[in-house]
A and B are shown apart, each in its own frame.
Chain A
Amino acid sequence: MLRTRGWIHAWLLLLPGFVFLIAFTHLPALTTLWSSFFTTPRGRRPAKWAGLENYDTLIGDPIFWKVLWNNAIYAAGTIPLSIIIALVMALWVNRQLAGRGFVRMAYFTPTVLPMIAVANIWMFFYTPGFGLIDQIGGALGFGQTNILGSANSALFGVMVVTIWKEAGFFMIFYLAALQTIPTSLIEAARVEGAGGWTIFRRITLPLLMPTTLFVSINAVVNSFRMVDHIFILTGGGPDNASSLLLFYIYEVAFRFWDTAYAATLTVVLLVFLMILAIGQFFLFDRKVHYR
């Protein structure tokens, strides 16, 4: 009797959370999967069963493969770099230095700014002819650049903005973690005669591992999720050179109004994120030392 009441109590407490989770996460995910097996309904032609037809289209869609490849480059380029820069910045501002508060704030500012504003600032940097980069380059005798307007460099132009934006955010986590490392450990190591590099490698870095796991999961998710700046900077161009998976999904869904194919692409994105999350938790987790 008491046991049953305990169960009911527990379920009641969980209920509000479940309702929202089911209504806004699980149900939409399932309907997405369901719609990916139908054709897109148009006013004059209702949706009809399509089986795996949409998945067939997907495999034969060169733009899908291109954005997937772009996304891989984007992830491989932005994740490690933004984490390393974040760590270096955190180590730097964790020391005693003049104007420390100011430097911390300067590093953190990009995080506070909305992505659209960031993109507009960088748009000005990149503008050929009279943008900041070309003004500085021109003063030094270099010619005009067109970073966002060339197929080879557009994606990198977009990646630089992401790294600039993300590094400051991750720095805050590293900074918080660094401050929880007991100074006694470092002092003890010094007494033993360890140099700065050894202390970093043997003490600081291992103790930062839980933070690194957290930050890297965030970075992976963001590399699939952050596309706001692409709307401003390149619109995915030239010829999809800077388009990413989520940006492509948006275009298919809300520009082309091909909702069934957009659902199919979304299913692929979901599967990717699931695999990545599972992989990170089960493989990476073993190497992390929790205190």
Chain B
Amino acid sequence: MLMTKFKAAAAALAFAAAPAAADVDLQFYFPVAVGGAAADTIEELTAQYVAENEGVNIEAIYAGSYQDTVAKALTAARGGNAPQLSVILSVDMFTLLDEDLIMPFDDFATSEEDKAWLNSFYPAFMENSQTGGKTYGIPFQRSTPVLYWNKEAFKAAGLDPETPPATWDEMVEMGKKLTLKDDAGNVTQWGVRIPSSGFPYWLFQGLTTENGAILANADGNEVSFDDPKVVEALDYLVDLSKEHKVMAPGIIEWGATPKAFFEGQTAMMWTSTGNLTNVRKNAPFDFGVAMLPANKRRGAPTGGGNFFLFKGASDEQAKAAFDFVKWISGPEQSAKWTIATGYVAPRPETWETETMKAYAAEFPPVLVARDQLEHAVAELSTYENQRVTRIFNDALAAAITGQKTSEEALKEAQAKADAILQDYR
């Protein structure tokens, strides 16, 4: 209410000052998936841009979680009131295309400079942002999973505290030494923790990539859930609890994972780099951050949100939105964002700034995620993405809880996914 009045007053003033130039108004939805500083930083950056660029008003609207934001954007678009710009999960690209809601950035990258900018992102992040030769998403709050380990627990188990496991076998070997039991035979510390609640496919994709499998094609209409390499990866995950007994059985809660790590319930954990700042602040012991262990190769998925340009924007609005996205991905802005949150800065240029260099010198673990990018692949993304990943998640849960064997569960998932995706082939 106050905001509207303020804007009306501002508009009236602008009109009085420069009657010829009409202002461009933009609406921009953003989600927050990590702590409070993220929202403040986005609003700060937006305000800075508006102050530097006369004639452009950007209303940055916090829209809840990723799930809420895409729901809100879809609903608004159906009501003919879409935002011009929104940050949404990169994997929702096909859904947004299917709903015919987004425009490629290429249409607005007319100058040589703009084209060079489009090509300046880490390729691993662009895999989820491009399809059919067009760029629909610009990486913004992007992350990748890494392995955190408790150096004190390593020392206590007689392991070298500076050497994390580099392969699957090493993770099991070290896990066995790190799993501690009390006199009654109850486990007091697990070796490793790979959370499996909510969206188990994401961390599991670390395992499948390491085993040399790619889960979905670039057109988003084929999946390979029943690939023997995927089955093998799932067997490995299940066996961590069942066979080797280095991980707690059943579904492991994602949200409680950092806490379990701080409490010494587990000596190693797999989770997002987005948790880096949280772990740094709260771990009461010395910890290390490493790339995920390799099997046939190193590997990890990427994750997180991209900027999307919505249809329905006027030409001026779309140009202004394009310019804003370009500005916010600039080195200094991006460095500020990365330091505030832990998200991986998506362009090499950012890592060359003095700000980032100083930060990395003081806190080297931030470099692990960046270095892992060369091994990273696209996060699982298809048409009807939520539904297809849900099928995959259900299959993983069924295998983890021992309801089905890995092969059975994945075969069924493949059949169900094929039934949905065949409409898009």
Do A and B belong to a common assembly?
yes
Residues of chain A within 8 A (CB-CB) of B260 are 129-130
**Given A43-B100, A43-B101, are A151 and B403 neighbors across the interface (CB < 8 Å)?**
yes
Q: Which of B74, B248, B398 contacts A128 (CB 8 A)?
A: B248
Query: CB-defined interface of A231-252 with B at 8 Å, one 1/0 digit per residue?
Result: 0001101111100000000010
Indicate if the CB atoms of A237 and B248 lie closer than 8 Å: no
0/1 string, B265-280, CB within 8 A of A gives 1: 1000000000000000
Q: Which of A141-149, A189-197, A277-285 contacts B (4 or more CB under 8 A)?
A: A141-149
The reply to whether B397 and A256 form a contact with Cβ atoms under 8 Å apart is: no
For B249, give its contact among A127, A129, A146 (CB under 8 Å).
A146
A-contact 0/1 string along B24-44, CB 8 Å cutoff: 000000000000000000000
Question: Given A239-B398, A257-B95, 8 more contacts at CB 8 Å?
Answer: A44-B98, A44-B99, A128-B252, A129-B260, A141-B184, A237-B397, A257-B74, A257-B386
Which listed residue (B95, B98, B400) contacts A238, Cβ 8 A?
A: B400
Residues of A within 8 A of B249 (CB): 146, 149-150
Q: Which residues of B contact A238 (CB under 8 A)?
A: 250-251, 397-398, 400-401, 403
A53 at the interface (CB under 8 A from B): no
In the complex formed, the residue of A with least CB distance to B383 is: A42
Type the 1/0 row for B156-186, where 1 means its CB is closer than 8 Å to any CB of A: 0000000000000000000000000000111
The reply on B263 being an interface residue by CB < 8 A is yes
Among A127, A151, A237, A258, contact of B256 (Cβ-Cβ < 8 Å): A127
CA distance A128 to B245 in the complex (A): 16
Q: Mark B98-110, 1 if CB is under 8 A from A, else 0.
A: 1111000000000
Q: Which of B98, B100, B251, B387 is close to A149, meaning CB atoms less than 8 Å apart?
A: B251
The docked-state distance in angstroms from the alpha carbon of A264 to that of B14 is: 52
- On chain A, the residues within 8 Å of B252 by CB distance are 128, 146, 149
A7 within 8 A of B: no
Query: Within the assembled complex, what's the spacing in Å between the Cα atoms of A148 and B401?
Result: 11
How far, in whole Å, are A44 and B98 apart by their CA atoms in the complex?
A: 6
Per the bound structure, the CA–CA distance linking A186 and B263 in Å amounts to 57
Closest Cβ–Cβ distance, residue B144 to chain A (whole Å) = 23
Instruction: Please indicate the chain B residues that have their CB under 8 angstroms from the CB of A151 in the complex.
Output: 397-398, 401-403
218-249 of chain B: CB within 8 A of chain A: 248-249
Contact assessment for A150 and B394 in the assembled complex, using a CB-CB cutoff below 8 Å: no
Contacts of B74 in A (CB 8 A): 257
Nearest CB in chain B to that of A126: its residue: B253
Q: A127-B253, A127-B256, A141-B184 are in contact. Are A43 and B400 (CB under 8 A)?
A: no
Contact bitstring A261-277, B, C-beta under 8 A = 1, else 0: 00000000000000000
**B319 interface residue, CB < 8 Å from A?**
no
Q: Which of A127, A143, A237, A256 has the most C-beta atoms of chain B within 10 angstroms of its own C-beta?
A: A237
Question: B390: CB under 8 A from chain A?
Answer: yes
Question: Given the complex of chains A and B, what is the CA–CA distance between A258 and B384 in angstroms?
Answer: 9
A239 with B197: CB separation less than 8 A: no
Which residues on the A side are within 8 Å of B250 (C-beta)?
Answer: 128, 146, 149-150, 238
Partner of B265, one of A129, A235, A256: A129
A5→B197 CA distance, assembly (Å): 64
Q: Within the complex, what minimum Cβ distance (angstroms) separates A119 from chain B?
A: 12
Which residue of the partner chain, among B184, B185, B263, B397, contacts A130 with CB atoms under 8 Å? B263
Considering the complex of A and B, which 9 residue pairs feature the smallest CB-CB distances, nearest first?
A43-B100, A149-B250, A149-B251, A238-B397, A146-B250, A43-B99, A143-B186, A239-B398, A256-B387
Question: CB within 8 A of B386: which of A127, A148, A255?
Answer: A255
Contact A254 B71 (CB under 8 A): yes
Taking a contact as CB atoms under 8 Å apart, the answer to whether A256 and B384 are in contact is: yes
In the complex, the answer to whether A144 meets B248 with C-beta atoms within 8 Å is yes
- Asked if A235 and B198 make an inter-chain contact with CB atoms under 8 angstroms apart, the answer reads yes
A51 within 8 A of B: no
Chain A residues whose CB sits within 8 angstroms of the CB of B394 once the complex forms: 237, 239-240
Known: A42-B99, A149-B252. A255 touches B67 (CB 8 A): yes
CA distance A144 to B256 in the complex (A): 15
Shortest beta-carbon distance from B360 to chain A in Å: 33
Question: Is B47 on the interface with A (CB-CB < 8 A)?
Answer: no
CA distance A182 to B187 in the complex (A): 58
Chain A binding surface SS class: loop
Q: Which residues of A contact B186 (CB under 8 A)?
A: 138, 141-144
Name the distance in Å between A240's Cβ and chain B's nearest Cβ. 6
Most buried by B among A43, A44, A151, A254: A43
B-chain residues with CB within 8 Å of residue A256 when the two chains form the complex:
384, 386-387, 390
A135 to chain B, nearest CB (A): 11
Q: Is the CB of A129 within 8 A of B403?
A: no
B259 CB-CB contact with A under 8 Å? yes
A146 x B248 contact (CB < 8 A)? yes
User: Are the C-beta atoms of A150 and B251 separated by less than 8 Å?
Assistant: yes
Please report which residues of chain B, range 182-213, place their CB below 8 angstroms from some CB of chain A when the two chains form the complex. 184-187, 197-198
| Shortest beta-carbon distance from B111 to chain A in Å | 30
Contact in complex: B265, A130 (CB < 8 Å): yes
Question: Given A256-B386, A257-B74 in contact, is the A149-B95 Cβ separation under 8 Å?
Answer: no
Q: Is the CB of B251 within 8 A of A148?
A: yes
- Which residue from chain A places its CB closest to the CB of B311 in the assembled complex? A43
Name the distance in Å between B87's Cβ and chain A's nearest Cβ. Answer: 18
* Shortest distance between the CB of A251 and any CB in chain B (Å): 7
Centre residue among B185, B197, B198, B402 by max chain A CB count within 10 A: B197
Specify the chain A residue showing the minimal Cβ separation from B400: A238
Bound together, the chains give a CA A141 to CA B256 distance in angstroms of 23
25 residue pairs bridging A and B, Cβ less than 8 Å apart: A43-B100, A43-B101, A44-B100, A128-B248, A128-B253, A129-B248, A129-B260, A130-B265, A138-B186, A144-B186, A146-B251, A146-B252, A149-B249, A150-B250, A150-B401, A234-B197, A237-B393, A238-B251, A238-B397, A239-B394, A239-B395, A254-B71, A256-B390, A257-B99, A258-B387
A239 to B252, CA, bound (A): 13
Q: Which residues of A contact B197 (CB under 8 A)?
A: 149, 234-235, 237
Chain B residues, Cβ within 8 Å of A129: 248, 260, 263, 265
- Residues of B within 8 Å of A141, CB to CB, are 184, 186
Nearest Cβ in chain B — how far from A274, in angstroms? 29
Closest to A235 in B: B198
Most chain A CB within a 10 A radius of its CB, from B71, B248, B397: B397
With a cutoff of 8 Å between Cβ atoms, the chain B residues found around residue A143 in the complex are 184-187
Find the B residue at minimum CB distance from A237: B397
Nearest CB to that of A127 among chain B residues?
A: B256
A140 to chain B, nearest CB (A): 10
